[in-house]
Structure 1
């Protein structure tokens, strides 16, 4: 099983302080990001657009023999047309997993022997399902369920560990779960982070037992922090062991066996291999935090106020800066709705009377709110549609239609090159002037010599050049970049040149 992304659709403005020098036009092309930060507080990023991956930051650029530019991230050409599904890092190295099962590693440490570039460490026979990095080493989970540990330039298969479906790496300890729901831990254990009832280190994977002898629910996810481990069950329970995981008022107490953490209906959990605090999300969209913060403050288990919308936003509330937990899709806030959010009316199982069905997925909503938010829905849910409780959407993808519904409820929408065509068509079909204006703004901002051929068909079809800013930029780009190329071709073709001259001078 490939690891699912922890965060989706995170507001990129969370990272605005660290990305403030980057060219705005480039930022609008970013689809997802991965922040690479370590205990050395040297921050770097990977940025993914629709067709390329870029490095940003002195540290990662050094690992890749690239010259860091504060205004413009550097393209990593070896990853062109590759889809990244996992990114993890340790002290002085980064590991990347692509959707074709290949693993790449970069470092400026001579022990890794990457020669300061992105080295493919897979071979023709190796295909990997997951990666996990510790402080100094990393784990690779092959698609056949076997696990290898990578130390510097050497990696070896862990004997006796088979049929593994999930792996995690803390600071200096490892966790693995098999297809039969067995948990194995090994590595450093000075705080009981292996959950084996003692503080003895283990060189080989050791089977972990829960206090009552067994658990009936399957393991849904495992994560590991600097000196603790967490296990989330399919039934929503969460257990922890190691530093600060004892369920008491003194959050510096350690738990030496998997101990239940008093949060119910846990949906997801997150922590980093160099940090001592954790975050959890329950099925009611509440975020929780506990552990030891960077300044040494012990944080007892608490539900976070202000209802953050992502783990990145939750981490920013308790950390010095936001954290990403792997590749994180982002959206660009193009409108704010005066700061008012009506998200409680969207996908609320306790308060809905209409169900949108899109590509076998459902979205729950309130007719009353939709009628207030949109003239199109006001017409839809009147007359013959008044009693209809299910609407099937066939003309738009799930992600595009859901993004539109989110915009109606929050004022936020993510527009990028991959969805602009559908969004602008939806805006035209629904008579949605707000969305059409946002699409115009996106195209006007993104219009350049490289994208003019992509966006001009949309500009022409939907008559976007009636907008003065779009028209002016289109004219400027045509004169500067398009016309010189066309003129060169015309000059070499006498027939076409004659027709062009006829059109210019005789068509009055």
Structure 2
């Protein structure tokens, strides 16, 4: 199982201040992006186009013996013809995983990694990896057979064992059958295929979730407060001194520094503690910040923790119609948004109408029709669809009047869900790769409003 993407896509205009000097022609060619950063300074960016990978920024170009050009990112030749599936970074280093299972690392001259101003392949014989995770000074690698390896600093036991730090030889952690890995500043996490979480490394604030503040040099099993949970674990992430766990049923738990509920006597949870967010679908942390973000199934974003050495923040729902974790990070008064992993970049047309009947869409407690698209379904109410669309009024007054299942063959789940979302909220996101499907749907359903949005998007694209 590869890393669960935090954001499927991000509007590149979020970074317009960072990219103001780059040629517009190049910006349009960017298909994915990763921001390399640390708490004290910005390092730069990695850009992926359809056929190459580029570095942008003084610092990252110096790491790679490239000459920074503010108008044109620099191509990284060693990655030509390689598809990048994950990027992560720590303090003064960045790591890249390609789809052929190879891992590359670049670092500053001042770091212990000593990559000598190149993007250096981490050689491990014939091993192939499917996931990486970076702490501030260490790195975890998940081999395709589920075995976890480590590199870097071992001050707190984050590599496991009492051995010295290892920057050039991978260390076998002894963990097998693992499907997801994560790193905080100095601690490590692993989720197994048997629904078990193991933690090790630094534990000063209870971030290992083991009920105390003692560091661990061997992976230790994390237990939830009631001794068991009735759901599979969907994902694990780590912040600087905390950890967060997401369950398939939408519950979210945290341990370590600043995990809510916060009280004046004990700001740190030493065991996984339930965070009062219902129906959570995704979450995000980074190894150099104390902030956590979460997204629920109603498209609301939440934050908690501490930002820029200010006091601890209680759990807070963020204002506005945010569309990504990167946008949520910008809402926290951060100078430039954070990309929580490799993120696809898009140009989008956004519509904002002051209506919202989103509670009527995909509500398992209140529906009378389901649209079936492949192995997925979308739940809705016929009466609302008939009020908002002439097409659905005809549909549910005819042969399908008593039918509660409608199979959709001509459109993908994403396109059809986006259309129904527009009917319920007044908002739609049109992208370059799906514009023609929306035009086809608008023609087929006789939806003049959708067609107008498609025309507006096309005109904007032509102008750009």
Where does residue 159 of structure 2 map in the other structure?
Answer: none
2:350–2:430 CA contact under 8 A, matched in 1: no
CA distance in 2, matches of 1:372, 1:122: 62
Task: Provide closer, same or farther for how the CA distance between residues 430 and 27 of structure 1 changes in structure 2, counting only shifts above 3 A.
Answer: farther
Task: Provide closer, same or farther for how the CA distance between residues 362 and 81 of structure 1 changes in structure 2, counting only shifts above 3 A.
Answer: farther
Pairs within 5 Å for 1:290-439 = 290-306=304-320, 308-320=322-334, 321-337=336-352, 346-349=361-364, 354-365=369-380, 383-384=398-399, 389-406=404-421, 409-416=425-432, 418-419=433-434, 422-423=437-438, 425-426=440-441, 433-438=451-456
2:46–2:53 CA contact under 8 A, matched in 1: yes
CA distance in 2, matches of 1:341, 1:43: 40
Where does residue 129 of structure 1 map in the other structure?
Answer: 130
2:6–2:341 CA contact under 8 A, matched in 1: yes
1:143-186 residue CA offsets vs partner (Å, 9 max, x unmatched): 11211111274232334322222211100111122233333222
Pairs within 5 Å for 1:259-270 = 259-270=273-284
Pairs within 5 Å for 1:21-40 = 21-40=21-40
Once structures 1 and 2 are overlaid, which stretch shifts more, 434-443 or 240-249?
434-443
Task: Provide closer, same or farther for how the CA distance between residues 343 and 259 of structure 1 changes in structure 2, counting only shifts above 3 A.
Answer: closer
1:45-66 residue CA offsets vs partner (Å, 9 max, x unmatched): 2333444433332222222333
The offset of 1:279, in angstroms, is 1.6
Where does residue 150 of structure 1 map in the other structure?
Answer: 151
The question of 1:91 aligning with 2:107 is answered no
CA distance in 2, matches of 1:377, 1:16: 40
Partner SS, residue 154 of structure 1:
strand
Name the structure where strand makes up a greater proportion of residues: 2
Task: Provide closer, same or farther for how the CA distance between residues 340 and 118 of structure 1 changes in structure 2, counting only shifts above 3 A.
Answer: farther
Task: Provide closer, same or farther for how the CA distance between residues 56 and 354 of structure 1 changes in structure 2, counting only shifts above 3 A.
Answer: farther
Where does residue 478 of structure 1 map in the other structure?
Answer: none
Task: Provide closer, same or farther for how the CA distance between residues 376 and 247 of structure 1 changes in structure 2, counting only shifts above 3 A.
Answer: closer
Where does residue 244 of structure 1 map in the other structure?
Answer: 258
TM-score (norm: length of structure 1):
0.76
2:91–2:137 CA contact under 8 A, matched in 1: yes
CA distance in 2, matches of 1:251, 1:367: 52
Once structures 1 and 2 are overlaid, which stretch shifts more, 249-258 or 137-146?
249-258
The question of 1:441 aligning with 2:459 is answered yes
2:97–2:104 CA contact under 8 A, matched in 1: yes
Task: Provide closer, same or farther for how the CA distance between residues 399 and 235 of structure 1 changes in structure 2, counting only shifts above 3 A.
Answer: closer
Task: Provide closer, same or farther for how the CA distance between residues 348 and 66 of structure 1 changes in structure 2, counting only shifts above 3 A.
Answer: farther
Task: Provide closer, same or farther for how the CA distance between residues 197 and 328 of structure 1 changes in structure 2, counting only shifts above 3 A.
Answer: same
Partner SS, residue 429 of structure 2:
coil
1:147–1:161 CA contact under 8 A, matched in 2: yes
CA distance in 2, matches of 1:419, 1:82: 25
Name the structure where helix makes up a greater proportion of residues: 1
CA distance in 1, matches of 2:359, 2:91: 41
Where does the alignment leave 5 or more consecutive residues of structure 1 unmatched?
447-508
2:32–2:342 CA contact under 8 A, matched in 1: yes
CA distance in 2, matches of 1:442, 1:79: 33
Partner SS, residue 258 of structure 1:
strand
CA distance in 1, matches of 2:58, 2:2: 30
CA distance in 2, matches of 1:229, 1:404: 36
1:25–1:445 CA contact under 8 A, matched in 2: no
The count of corresponding residues between Structure 1 and Structure 2 is: 445
The offset of 1:107, in angstroms, is 2.0
Task: Provide closer, same or farther for how the CA distance between residues 133 and 342 of structure 1 changes in structure 2, counting only shifts above 3 A.
Answer: same
The question of 1:42 aligning with 2:42 is answered yes
Q: Among 195, 220, 228, which residue is 1:206 paired with?
A: 220
Where does residue 63 of structure 1 map in the other structure?
Answer: 63
TM-score (norm: length of structure 2):
0.82
CA distance in 2, matches of 1:216, 1:344: 26
